[in-house]
Structure 1
Amino acid sequence: MRVLDVDDDALADKPDLGATTDEPSHARISAWLLSRMVPGKLRPGDKLPPEEGLAAALGVSRMTLRQALGSLEQQGWIERRRGRAGGNFIREPRVAVDLTGLPGFTEQMRRANVRAGARVVRAQLIDAPAEVAEGLEIARGQEVVELVRVRSARRQPLALEETYLPAQLFPGLLDHQLTGSLYALMRKAYGLAPDRAVEWLEPEISSDEHAALLDVDPGTALMLVTRKASTAGGIVVEYARDRYRPDRTRITLQTGAGTHVATELSIDLT
């Protein structure tokens, strides 16, 4: 961790807040700090100078500086800690997980300009439990493919995917490479890619197993996305439960007037 002072090179090129502009000072301060973060001059873990000193160096009130820092905190760029060892710290920004248009995780990371990774935890054929059978609209005990993967970005675990597919529709699926896009595999090898889905979003407290896989403490709040997906012809092909780390992801959904979206709710847990 670097503890910065107001004259540090990482805080060079301070904005001229005396210049006439329609943009308020706090917005210009936010933009300046962000411009130092993106090229890596300000790095995750860096501690910014005390607010009083930084405000004086910028020629603004402490309230104005706090507005700027609050905006960056809301966007996930800064973590503000209290106490004697507290202060304002640069943090790794959360990855935007955009659910619009039924993308898979690989496509979500492509939208966020982040390379996706996957580690297969379990890949097997099982008899469908009651909830899975109901979700897939099949008989209880019918054989399904169970695929559990930890999905990562920036080499850090972001989500735990628990996916179920009707085995009769996807024979031999377990013989394929399962660390890439599952939706692409379903489309190319079987012609049965999801086209529409209903998704339910709700907070969930992590179990010991899920916490260990996602590298969080047991009892940590996660965002659970439960999905039932079907093809354009109405064949149900996927029932899934995806659990996201809210400290590293930010779930978004784009909507518009007159547009029907099947996702019921979006919550940011931070």
Structure 2
Amino acid sequence: MTASLFKAGSLSEADDGPLYLRLQSMIRSGIADGRLRPNDALPAERDLATNLGVSRVTVRKALRGLVDEGVLRQRHGSGTFVSRSADRIEQPLSRLTSFTEDMRSSGRVPGTRWLDRSTDRPSAEEATILGLPTGARVTRLSRLRLVDGDPVAIEAAVVPASAIPDPLRVDASLYDALAAAGMHPVRAVQRLAAISLGAAEAALLGVMPGAAAVAIERIAYLPDGSVIEFTRSHYRGDACDFVAELSLASQADGFEAAGPTMEG
């Protein structure tokens, strides 16, 4: 089907306007009428440029714009694909639950590829955030998060080694391990920011360097107010939607945004 969509001369039949916008319109139309389906691979940039009689710069500009919009996704070394827009992972920001629990409750298959499980001395920043005494150690848990076999996030969590002295005790869920130790967090503060992925992170997530991502920094607390978890994460921008439910509180309380949902 992709061959018929990108046949020679087809771009000249599109609406007037800059060539890259006409190519974007053609791709959107192909998705709308079913000629391009989720996960379909587009021809290589060189082949598109040759077939359509345009420059590779035009093709690259068109594809990059659609990638930024989430219509397409690019995998480093593999090519450009139609996004699984209907399958985007929706993450509510109103519950403090585990990534594993969230994925299973939505009918997904969560997975983990461990990058690091170790104990170490904390950095000055980590010691301050976790409120650790001099000489204390931390357990580091870095992993690639998978959903239905696809990489969606890189998470690097740090917890006091006194809570989890053996990193191998953590399997799929950090919060399950904390709960087993009697230290399940009851609330968390989470900050989100838009970033572009560096080469190393992009390679792990299977996207092109510079791809859009959401950086998340989370600090989780125990009932007594002490910090039990400090996590930094990078989520693929083309894979996840973060949803917060807001309610109108009394004037005395003001507006209150829902709390964070995902664990490290």
Q: Distance in 2 between matches of 1:205 and 1:97?
A: 20
Contact 1:97-1:112 at 8 Å conserved across structures: no
State whether structure 2 residue 163 is matched by structure 1 residue 169: yes
Aligned to 1:16: none
Q: Flag the structure with more relative contact order, 1 or 2, with Cα contacts below 8 A and sequence separation at least 6.
A: 2
| TM-fit CA distance, 1:245 | 0.2
Aligned to 1:255: 246
Q: Distance in 2 between matches of 1:241 and 1:206?
A: 14
Structure 2 residue identity aligned to 1:199: Q
| TM-fit CA distance, 1:139 | 4.0
| Secondary structure of the corresponding residue to residue 102 of structure 2 | helix
Contact 2:114-2:144 at 8 Å conserved across structures: yes
Q: Distance in 1 between matches of 2:135 and 2:93?
A: 31
Instruction: Provide closer, same or farther for how the CA distance between residues 203 and 140 of structure 1 changes in structure 2, counting only shifts above 3 A.
Output: farther
Which shows bigger deviation, 98-107 or 255-264?
255-264
Structure 1 residue identity aligned to 2:93: L
State whether structure 2 residue 150 is matched by structure 1 residue 156: yes
Gaps of 5+ in 2: 6-30, 43-66, 74-80, 250-254
Aligned to 1:67: none
Scaled by the length of structure 2, the TM-score of the pair is 0.63
| Secondary structure of the corresponding residue to residue 169 of structure 1 | coil
Alignment: residue pair count = 196
Q: Distance in 2 between matches of 1:211 and 1:160?
A: 10
Aligned to 1:230: 221
* Alignment partner of 1:214 out of 205, 209, 219: 205
Q: Distance in 2 between matches of 1:221 and 1:42?
A: 22
Gaps of 5+ in 1: 6-32, 48-72, 81-88, 265-270
Alignment of 1:85-124 (within 5 A): 91-93=83-85, 94-124=88-118
Instruction: Provide closer, same or farther for how the CA distance between residues 111 and 147 of structure 1 changes in structure 2, counting only shifts above 3 A.
Output: same
State whether structure 2 residue 214 is matched by structure 1 residue 186: no
Instruction: Provide closer, same or farther for how the CA distance between residues 90 and 125 of structure 1 changes in structure 2, counting only shifts above 3 A.
Output: closer
Instruction: Provide closer, same or farther for how the CA distance between residues 217 and 46 of structure 1 changes in structure 2, counting only shifts above 3 A.
Output: closer
Runs of 4+ in 1 over 6 A off after TM superposition: none
Aligned to 1:246: 237
- Superposed CA RMSD: 3.2
Structure 2 residue identity aligned to 1:191: G
| Secondary structure of the corresponding residue to residue 113 of structure 2 | strand
Aligned to 1:147: 141
Aligned to 1:27: none
Instruction: Provide closer, same or farther for how the CA distance between residues 140 and 199 of structure 1 changes in structure 2, counting only shifts above 3 A.
Output: farther
Contact 1:214-1:245 at 8 Å conserved across structures: yes
Structure 2 residue identity aligned to 1:45: D
Percent pairwise identity: 29
Q: Distance in 2 between matches of 1:213 and 1:125?
A: 23
